[in-house]
Amino acid sequence: MESHLFYLSSNPRPELERAEGIHMWAKTGKRYLDGSSGAMVSNIGHSNPAVLAAMRAQMEKSTFGYRLHFMTEPSERLAAKTAALCPGDLNKVFFVSGGSEAVESTLKLARQYAVAKGEAQRFKVISRTPSYHGSTLGALAVTGYAPLAAPFAPMMHEMPKIPAPRAYLDGLDLEDPATGEHYAAMLEAKIVEEGAQTVLAFIQEPVGGASTGALVPPKGYMEAVREICDKYGVLLIHDEVMSGGGRTGKFWGADHWGAVPDIISISKGFGGGYVPLGAMIARDDMVQTVMDAGGFMHGHTYAGNPLACSAGLAVLDEIERLGLVENAALMGDKLQARLRGLMNRFSFIGDVRGKGLLTAFELVSDRGTMEPLPRELNAFDRLVEHAYAQGLIIYSRRTRGGTSGDHFLVCPPMIIGDEGLDELMEMLEAALVSFAAEAGL
Ligand code: PLP
């Protein structure tokens, strides 16, 4: 059948029949293990009965109530539950339908806050390279991946960037506090270079997502970044679209370091693949300042609809009831240990990194220099295809400025147990063997 959609994979893909737990079935009857939770979305697994029941029950009552006409119980309850999970005095929640919208909202709130405080000269948002913060023009302007932004360059204000703290590429020790200071100093230097009075915010992913392949910041980095932001009156935005919701083994990625931002974005696992859902959570006083100055000039029609919020609420309840944050920490440790074990067998695995079940490995041609594999091997695509043939779904990206550097996210649903992990590792190993044979490695 000819498809009228133009965003599908360029590789042939079968039609999806159904999905349950950590598995998905194509119409051909073949079973796949969802080793990347889609795009790090299906955190509590597929077809969770409690979530489906909550959605059904809400659908019987109402599926939409416009926010200017009604308040709804699911949105109020989800906002309260989300606020209770947030650090510091971040307790005001703004719902959206996805990650880009969530990031866009953080940028607009930050800007309106600065204007309301009489600091209208602040408009620059510093971010990192590589990074991914979304596909809308504002989120793209702070995304540190040039090929995505290049075609749209005249339509947006390109924002200043600093290098992401990729200690593994720079041969620096993650555990050495000097490493954290080294990368944090780049933020301070950039703020000064840009003119501190013009800098509105710094945005970062606490544990990196697809752009860096689960990058973990070095010791001391998160704390130092917070101090630098405070020193120059720069707002700190944590993009937890992927790292929020428990996947890293703590509810927020930043919880591993106790670093408290001013604004957070979350999506992906927040709706868990059941509904398009995201949120921005901000400091109480910031929101109050903006509201006192005339209100937040932002909104999306579907924001906070009761159906999406009922699903989001049930997702959070299931995460709690099943102890999934704890399971992500436990199974993430096991997964990373087993991936490191594969480094003995496959010399082209250069690095294994991540927190909890936000885990990745990177392929290299030389572990000493971390030289990437030759670009023409197309490893980021080929290994995914070998895994797919086995019945394993993994997620890949090629970064390092878009030139080379292939990394693979192995991020199964947080419900995975030992049996699922065995199955995943068996297929991954077989995929690595056939990839190595094809690539002559
Ligand atoms: N921010 C981060 C850290 C992401 O990983 C993503 C998506 O991958 C986004 C923002 C954009 O989210 P969405 O694709 O839902 O718009």
The protein residue with its alpha carbon nearest to ligand 1, atom 13, reads 99
Ligand 1: centre distance to CA 202 (Å): 17
Ligand 1: centre distance to CA 132 (Å): 7
E strand spans, 104-251? 124-129, 161-163, 199-204, 235-239
Q: Which atom of ligand 1 is nearest to the CA of 278?
A: 15
Rg (CA), the chain: 21
Residue pair 43/323 in contact (Cβ under 8 Å)? The answer is: no
Mutate to test the pocket of ligand 1, among 205, 242, 399 (most ligand atoms within 8 A of CB): 242
Of the candidates 256, 420, 226, the one whose C-alpha atom is nearest the C-alpha of residue 325 is 256
Q: Which atom of ligand 1 is nearest to the CA of 39?
A: 8
Could you read off the pLDDT of 222-238 as tens digits, one per residue? 999 999 999 999 999 99
Ligand 1: centre distance to CA 100 (Å): 6
Choose the CATH number for 16-47+323-439 among 3.20.20.70, 3.40.50.1100, 3.40.50.920, 3.90.1150.10.
Answer: 3.90.1150.10
Domain assignments of the chain as residue spans, ordered by start: 16-47+323-439, 51-321
Burial 45-84 (b: 16+ CB within 10 A, else e): bbebeebeebbeebeeeeeebebeeeebebbeebbeebbe
Mutate to test the pocket of ligand 1, among 40, 43, 103 (most ligand atoms within 8 A of CB): 103
Per-residue pLDDT of the chain (441 residues; tens, 9 = 90+): 778 988 888 888 999 999 999 999 999 999 999 999 999 999 999 999 999 999 999 999 999 999 899 999 999 999 999 999 999 999 999 999 999 999 999 999 999 999 999 999 999 999 999 999 999 999 999 999 988 999 999 998 889 999 999 999 999 999 999 999 999 999 999 999 999 999 999 999 999 999 999 999 999 999 999 999 999 999 999 999 999 999 999 999 999 998 899 999 999 999 999 999 999 999 999 999 999 999 999 999 999 999 999 999 999 999 999 999 999 999 999 999 999 999 999 999 999 999 999 999 999 999 988 999 998 899 999 999 999 999 999 999 886 555 457 999 999 999 999 999 999 999 999 999 999 999 999
**The residue type at 101:** E
Ligand 1: centre distance to CA 29 (Å): 31
Residue pair 332/357 in contact (Cβ under 8 Å)? The answer is: yes
Of the candidates 19, 43, 47, 44, the one whose C-alpha atom is nearest the C-alpha of residue 31 is 19
Ligand 1: centre distance to CA 242 (Å): 7
Could you read off the pLDDT of 384-435 as tens digits, one per residue? 999 999 999 999 988 655 545 799 999 999 999 999 999 999 999 999 999 9
Q: How many CA atoms are closer than 13 Å to the CA of 84, on its beta-carbon side?
A: 8
Tell me: ipTM over 0.85.
yes
Residue pair 166/215 in contact (Cβ under 8 Å)? The answer is: yes
Of the candidates 87, 5, 7, 83, the one whose C-alpha atom is nearest the C-alpha of residue 39 is 7
Q: Which atom of ligand 1 is nearest to the CA of 209?
A: 5
Contacts of 433 (CB under 8 A, 6+ apart): none
| 409 phi and psi angles, rounded to 5 deg | -90, 125
- Ligand 1: residues with CB < 6 A are 98-100, 103, 132-135, 205, 209-210, 239, 241-242, 267
Per the DSSP assignment, residues forming a β-bridge with 151 are none
Q: How many CA atoms are closer than 13 Å to the CA of 275, on its beta-carbon side?
A: 29
pTM: 0.97
Question: How far is it, in rounded angstroms, from Cα 435 to Cα 105?
Answer: 42
The protein residue with its alpha carbon nearest to ligand 1, atom 10, reads 133
Question: How far is it, in rounded angstroms, from Cα 311 to Cα 306?
Answer: 9
For domain 51-321, the question of CATH label 3.40.640.10 is answered with yes
Where does 125-195 have alpha helices with state H? 137-141, 146-149, 167-170, 177-194
Ligand 1: centre distance to CA 419 (Å): 30
| Fold agreement (16-47+323-439, 51-321) | no
Encoding tokens for residue 16?
């999806």
Question: How far is it, in rounded angstroms, from Cα 272 to Cα 287?
Answer: 27
Ligand 1: centre distance to CA 413 (Å): 18
Ligand 1: centre distance to CA 267 (Å): 8
